[in-house]
Amino acid sequence: MLCHWIYQWKNPKCSGKLPPGTMGFPIIGETFKFMKPHDAFQLPEFVKKKILRYGPLFRTSLFGAKVIISTDIGLNMEVAKTNHVPGMPKSLARLFGENNLFVRKESHKHVRSLTTQFLGSQGLKLRMMQDLDLLARGHIDLGASNGSLDVKETASKILTESLAKKIMGEMEPEAAKELALCWRDFPKGWFRFSWNIPGTGVYRMMKARKRMMNILKETVLKKKASGEELGEFFKMLFGEMEGKAETMNIEDEIEYIFIFFLIANEATPSVLAATVKLISDNPKVMQELTREHKRIVRDRNDKDKEASLTWEDYKSMTFTQMVINESLRITSTVPTVFRIIDHEFKFGDYTIPAGWIFMGYPNVHFNPEKYDDPLAFNPWRWKEKDLTAILSKTFIPFGAGSRLCLGADFAKLLMATFIHHLCRYRWSMKTETTVLRRFILMFPGGSDIQISKDTEVDDSAGY
Ligand code: HEM
């Protein structure tokens, strides 16, 4: 009986020929090998070894689930276009809620289009630019007064504060503080086995989820009862949906907001901190950036030098955009397309069975035929390229298809605004700062930079 079960585990049923690979130990699969920390700017050893052995498509088992891993850009795009259910291990599905507005087919398209209105370039220009600028300026000035700041933490504060205001409106300071505290328990439970047992990361994460949902719900209910204003995004999203055939209850609204905060906060602060590390390690890049941002301040000439950044300023940050694209390319060492395969299909000789999790790695980012010397951080390779595109046949950091990231332009704006204010000072990140990946980006020694008011970059600096 046991032998039969183990045999079945190792040889999953399929109507055709499964992609090559091994399923590892029962239940555990190959999770431990997969989760081994690795250099954040290279694909994991696990994936590299499998590619050498099996080619661009293979099967495995992770977190108790059957998984197909693909590094073929054509297949990744195809799966992204034709499969719509996000693929994630049970621990994550629990965190997100198993039937939320993002997952439900009937509501997904609608909430996507409303969210795009808010986070598309028109929305960013009109609604977010000024807040992001003020927050980045405030937090970086404070860091400069203190002599140092943690990039990841600071970016997370800027992001949470800017979105919270637009979604929830003004919040009681206690509730806002409590909300910010809850974030700390999330990354620890991200990508784990799904056991929700006291003492585990998943347990702490689920408790934090409950606490956050309660805070959000209390705030919304209080505001609705007193007629106090909710944020414009909340009104836009749910005001429009109320009265539609689709019924929207408060639980749905809160869950959507919670997931939105969660997704927004997952990658951006750590990608920004990794970008800052890459800049700090490359003096020529730092010099070129300083030149670009000094020019923006200088061009304000007679007007107030402390004036807010404008959309035109942002659009003129060509080199900064090149740095951001290059950082997105080189930090994309995780799958960017996640789906549950919803119908069996053939790829070459192989059959991809329905129900399996599909993880598409953007291996194309490291293909020497597409990117010369692909492991080098070289923003100049983006010269003359379309810097506004968030997806192409050779660039897929934000996924593709029906679940293409909704916050890509927002994330890029936040990163550029942060870099702009950073470049008003001289700063550096310790050379020993390391950036690892264990599925998520990790900074074992923190992501502190030294920055000081005394080192404000002035005209005499010769840049
Ligand atoms: C550097 C930062 C970011 C990266 C690298 C990133 C990457 C991604 C990826 C790879 C996906 C999955 C796409 C797929 O499965 O095909 C995704 C989805 C998503 N992202 Fe982002 N993201 C970032 C920042 C943000 C921000 C700041 C927000 C919100 C303000 C956001 C909102 C979303 C949403 C809502 C989805 C789900 C879309 C859907 O299911 O329809 N992301 N992102």
| Cα end-to-end distance, the chain, whole Å | 74
Distance CA 5, CA 86 (A): 28
* Residue of the CA atom closest to atom 17 of ligand 1: 405
- CA of 108 relative to ligand 1 center, distance in Å: 14
Is there a contact between 68 and 345 (Cβ–Cβ < 8 Å)? Answer: no
Tens digit of pLDDT for each residue in 341-387?
Answer: 999 999 999 999 999 999 999 999 999 999 999 999 999 999 999 99
Q: What average pLDDT does range 257-284 have in this prediction?
A: 91
Judging by DSSP bridges, how do beta strands 65-70 and 357-360 pair with one another? parallel
Nearest alpha carbon to residue 415 among 117, 118, 124: 124
- CA of 357 relative to ligand 1 center, distance in Å: 18
- Confidence class for position 314, pLDDT limits 50, 70, 90: very high
Tens digit of pLDDT for each residue in 177-232?
Answer: 787 777 666 655 455 555 666 666 677 778 888 888 888 888 888 888 888 888 88
> With 70 as the cut, is the pLDDT of residue 457 above it?
no
Q: What are phi and psi of 441, to 5 degrees?
A: -75, 140
Is there a contact between 94 and 202 (Cβ–Cβ < 8 Å)? Answer: yes
What atom in ligand 1 is closest to the CA of residue 102?
Answer: 40
- CA of 84 relative to ligand 1 center, distance in Å: 14
> DSSP per residue over 129-144, as a string?
HHHHHHHHHHHHHHHH
Distance CA 353, CA 15 (A): 8
Q: Is 80 in the pocket of ligand 1 (CB under 6 A)?
A: yes
- Confidence class for position 245, pLDDT limits 50, 70, 90: very low
Distance CA 279, CA 287 (A): 9
- CA of 21 relative to ligand 1 center, distance in Å: 29
- Ranges 16-25, 96-105, 297-306: which has the least confidence: 96-105
Query: What is the token pair recorded at 375?
Result: 């492991």
Nearest alpha carbon to residue 436 among 43, 32, 40, 33: 40
Tell me, what DSSP letter sits at residue 398? T
Protein fold of 2-461: Cytochrome p450 (1.10.630)
> DSSP per residue over 256-293, as a string?
HHHHHHHHHHHHHHHHHHHHHHHHHT-HHHHHHHHHHH
- Confidence class for position 458, pLDDT limits 50, 70, 90: low
Where do the structural domains in the chain lie, given as residue ranges? 2-461
Amino acid identity for residue 457 in this structure:
V
Q: What average pLDDT does range 315-326 have in this prediction?
A: 97
Q: What are phi and psi of 11, to 5 degrees?
A: -125, 75
Handedness of CA 409, 411, 415, 421 (dihedral sign): positive
Q: What average pLDDT does range 81-94 have in this prediction?
A: 77
Predicted local confidence at residue 461, as pLDDT? 45
Please give the mean pLDDT across all residues of the chain: 86
Q: Is 267 in the pocket of ligand 1 (CB under 6 A)?
A: yes
Query: What is the token pair recorded at 306?
Result: 């402390």
